[in-house]
Amino acid sequence: MGMSALAISKIERAGIPEPNAIVYTGRGIHLYWLIEPLPARALPRWQACQRQLCEVLGGDKQSVDCTRVLRVVGSVNSKTGGLVTAELSHPDRYEFDWISDQILPVTRDEVRKAKAERVQVRDIRPAQAKAGVKRGKSVKGSIYERWYQVYQDLWRIVDANDWRTCGVPKGKRDRLLFMMANALSWFTVSDALEAEIIDVARRLTPTLTEREVLSYCSSVLARARADAAKDDGKRYRYKRETLWNALSDLIEPHAGLVDQLRAIVPDDVREQRERERLRQRDGVKMDRTTYLATADERREEALRLRERGLSWKAVGEILGVSATAARLLASRQKRSSPPLV
């Protein structure tokens, strides 16, 4: 029996719908199920489907994470010299909630019910438990989405410093690599995390050996494996302020970079964005001219206070921001004036 026929027979026995396409890589096959676009918060369930499919098919566990790039149809496999080809079964995309219920041994409704029961039990206060009181708890946002934003911000920092081409300099590489590895640990399955970290290190810190890379990131790997085994929250949960304090020296020298970041920002930027969000929610939207004029006024005030000999801490106290935020505010380019031509 051929490799593709064997894979299809395993899928049929497991009651899983047929894939949309089979890609022949030159050394094996890849199966693809097309789905509608998903938000980042769906990542945990998507990864659960990947792990289940890998288990059913006896596939490579290092190929199931969302950052993996597989062989492209039409390319040549450098190891075998064979052309990568594909066979299309049908073009119809699957609705993710439906197909995930077909793939996973537990349906989404069953997961929701079990999760609600766990949250309800975990959230009982000792004093209330004696009285038989149960209190529900709602959780907003997704920690997986947040750490994906951190990961994207780290690559923006890399690009601003032009480190994709020249590598991260010594003195900064260990810190940046560790932060990259920790962000990856939140949305990459633990079995593939080591390979992903090594792949990032090859691009950013080519002078480090694999042994050195894994040594620097050993605690991240250990915590990710512990979480995968027991789900006991061992992974590093750095706050926004902690990330900013650890990386601000890589961001501040580049004018406008902080405006591109979403998760690694100082207090004043976060507060400004929150105020703008509330204005929009309440139907009071500040036009861009007014917004830039206000920002320029704060910048000029920070510069005036600094010229008077005040410390950054004192400037920050007057403006109602931290010393670091005050220094960053003063270093920004003026945005409301028309560009020079």
User: pLDDT: is 334 or 76 the higher one?
Assistant: 76
User: In the sheet where 21-24 sits, what is the strand order?
Assistant: 29-32, 21-24, 85-88
125-139, 148-162, 263-277: the lowest-pLDDT one: 125-139
Report whether pLDDT(11) > 70: yes
3-state secondary structure of 94: strand
pLDDT of residue 161: 94
Report whether pLDDT(149) > 80: yes
Taken as a whole, the chain contains a residue count of 341
Q: Which CATH topology does 3-103 take?
A: Alpha-Beta Plaits (3.30.70)
Per-residue pLDDT tens for 203-249?
Answer: 899 989 989 999 999 999 999 888 877 766 788 999 999 999 999 99
User: pLDDT: is 220 or 294 the higher one?
Assistant: 220
Domain ranges of the chain: 3-103, 112-140, 143-230, 266-331
Q: What is the DSSP string of 216-264?
A: HTHHHHHHHHHHHHH----S----HHHHHHHHHHHHTTSTTHHHH-SSS
pTM, entire model: 0.51
